[in-house]
Amino acid sequence: MTDYYEILGVERDASPEQIKKAYRRLARELHPDVAGEAGEERFKDVARAYEVLSNPDKRRQYDQGVDPTAPGGGAGGGFGAGFGFQDIFETFFGGGQAAQGPIPRARRGQDALVRMDVDLAEATFGAKRELQVDTAVACSTCGGNGARPGTSLRTCEVCAGRGNVQRVARSFLGQVMTTAPCTACGGYGTVIPEACADCAGEGRVRSRRTLTVNVPAGVDTGTRIKLTAQGEVGPGGGPAGDLYVEIRERPHETFVRRGDDLHCTLPVPMTAAALGTVLELDTLDGAQEIDLRPGTQPGQIVTLKGLGVGHLHAGGRGDLHVHVEVEVPTGLDDAQTELLRSLATLRGEERPEPRLASTHSGMFGRLRDKLSGR
C-alpha cells in the first residue's frame, strides 16, 4: 500500500494543519506550470495523498490498512467529496476579497499633509491659527453613495450581489472552479444606475474648508500636528483620513533659536562695559533690565532664566542668553584722544606687552563652553 505520509513528508501523528501545510508546499513545487510534465505524476500522488489524509474518515480507514482510493476500497477511487477544490484554488491563486464577498464602496480616505508658517512668538507661547485646506469632502447632493438623487444603488445582475463570479475550467484534475471579481460591478456587488452629477458617482467632491489649529508652545520646524479625521473623505462617502500640519518657523530678526533657548547680541559702549550700567532689552516677554557689572568683557553672556521657548512636552521654558558685544570707539576728537591717553598712562598701558590668552578663557572659550553645556 502506498505510504501517503511519506509522500507528503509528515509523521503519522501529524495534525490536519501540518498535513495541509505540507500539501500546499508540495503542490506549489510540483504543479505542471512550475515543474513541467516531469512533476505531473508526483503532483497527482501528492493530491491523492492529501485527499485521503485530509478526510478524517478516509484517514481512519487508511490507518487501519485500507486504501480508500483503491478499487473497492471504501470510498472508491478518484477525487471524492473529501478533496477540496477550494484548497487547490487557494494554493495557486490565493484567497482574497473576491472569495469573501463584495467589496464595500465606502473606504477610508487618505491622510493629507499641509504646511504652516509660524513666527518665533507663536512657537514660544503657542497660538490658535485659522488654516484653509483643499480636501475631498462627502458629496452633499447624493449623501456619499454616488447615485443621482431619487435613484439608488442596484444589485448587480451578473454576480447577484456577491461581488465575484465563478468560472469552471477543465484540467488534468478534471473540472476546477475558480472565483474572480465581477467585472460588471467591479467587485462591489452593486451598480450605480445613474451617477450623481456633482461627484460623478464617486461620493465625494473637492472643497475648501477653514480649520482651527491649536499650535502648542515649543513647536519647531518639522513638528507635525495631527488633526484626526480632518483629511480626505474616502470614496463612497467613507471615513476621512487624518490631516497632518507640518510647522515651519520663520527666522527672527533679533533672536536665534537653539533648541528651546534663545540667543541675541547686545552691543555695549566700551565705557559702559568698563564702568557698568543697566540697559533695557526688548524681549518676547516685553522690556527686561540687563545689569552689566563694571568690567564686563566682550563675549560675556548674561542669561535670563525662563525667557526662552516653551518646552513642547515637559512644560516650562528655556532661557534667553544675551551675548555682550563691546564697541570700541572710533572717530575720536582731540579731547577724547587725550583722555584715553591719560587713562592708558594711569593704567600703565601705553605700550602693553603682547601676550596670548589661553583658548579656555576669553570670548571664544566662554561661548564654546556655554554652547557645549559646561
Residue stretches of the annotated binding site for Zn(2+):
139, 142, 156, 159, 182, 185, 196, 199
Nearest to 31 by CA among 17, 18, 46: 46
Mode of pairing for the β-strands spanning 320-327 and 301-304: antiparallel
> Measured between alpha carbons, how far is residue 171 from residues 24, 86, 132, 168, 178 in Å?
18, 15, 60, 10, 12
What does the block give as the cell for 365? Answer: 572659550
CA distance 157 to 141: 26
What does the block give as the cell for 337? Answer: 584722544
Buried b (16+ CB within 10 A) or exposed e, 5-33: bebbebeeebeeeebbebbbebbeebbee
What is residue 147's DSSP assignment? B
> What are the binding residues?
139, 142, 156, 159, 182, 185, 196, 199
Looking at the DSSP bridge assignments, the partners of residue 31 are: none
Nearest to 151 by CA among 142, 160, 159: 142
Q: Is 365 left (phi over 0), alpha (psi -120 to 50) or beta?
A: alpha
CA distance 244 to 184: 38
CA distance 93 to 40: 19
Looking at the DSSP bridge assignments, the partners of residue 317 are: 310
